[in-house]
């Protein structure tokens, strides 16, 4: 019972409260939604939680995939994503291997328009959030 309570408290503390406005989701590809560099070893493999996470994203939101992969690997990636019913709007490739820095403003209402999540490479994708109707 104690372990369940600890897990519940941890989940609540990690719960993001997001506005009811449409969002733009930026996902790195390798290590975040597929096994890191799996395509170099034969094929991409979806990580646990990806389908559930993407299905939870509102259909009116935009999804942008970011990758360091060279442009020549993108058609193969697009085919893989389609076969696995992973929706996206854009793929940006040929990015540097270093940090991805997101800079955005704060609305006059106080809404922070930038959120960043770092997850361990090749581990389950799990984003805990709720949409607040009054934000």
Summarised one tens digit per residue, pLDDT across range 79-108 is 999 999 999 999 999 999 999 999 999 999
Cβ 21 vs Cβ 58: under 8 Å: no
**pTM over 0.75, yes/no:** yes
Residues 6+ positions from 42 with CB-CB distance below 8 Å: none
Q: Report how far residue 53's alpha carbon sits from residue 128's, in angstroms, rounded to the nearest whole number.
A: 9
CATH architecture of the domain covering 2-131:
3-Layer(aba) Sandwich (3.40)
Task: Please give the pLDDT value at position 2.
Answer: 55
Considering the chain, what is the average pLDDT of its residues? Answer: 90
Flag residues of the chain having pLDDT under 50. 4-12
Q: Report how far residue 94's alpha carbon sits from residue 112's, in angstroms, rounded to the nearest whole number.
A: 29
Task: Please give the pLDDT value at position 132.
Answer: 85
Task: Please give the pLDDT value at position 13.
Answer: 53
């Amino acid at each position: 019972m104690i372990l369940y309570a600890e897990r519940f408290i941890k989940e609540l503390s990690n719960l993001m409260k997001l506005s009811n406005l449409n969002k733009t989701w930026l996902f790195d590809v390798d290590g975040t939604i597929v096994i890191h560099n799996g395509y170099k070893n034969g094929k991409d493999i979806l990580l646990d939680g990806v389908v559930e996470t993407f299905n939870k994203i509102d259909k009116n939101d935009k999804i942008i995939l970011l990758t360091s992969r060279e442009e020549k690997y993108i058609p193969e990636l697009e085919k893989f994503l389609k076969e696995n019913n992973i929706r996206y709007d854009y793929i940006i490739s040929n990015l540097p291997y270093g940090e991805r820095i997101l800079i955005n403003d704060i609305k006059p209402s106080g809404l922070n328009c930038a959120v960043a999540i770092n997850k361990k490479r090749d581990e389950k994708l799990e984003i805990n959030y709720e949409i607040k109707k009054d934000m």
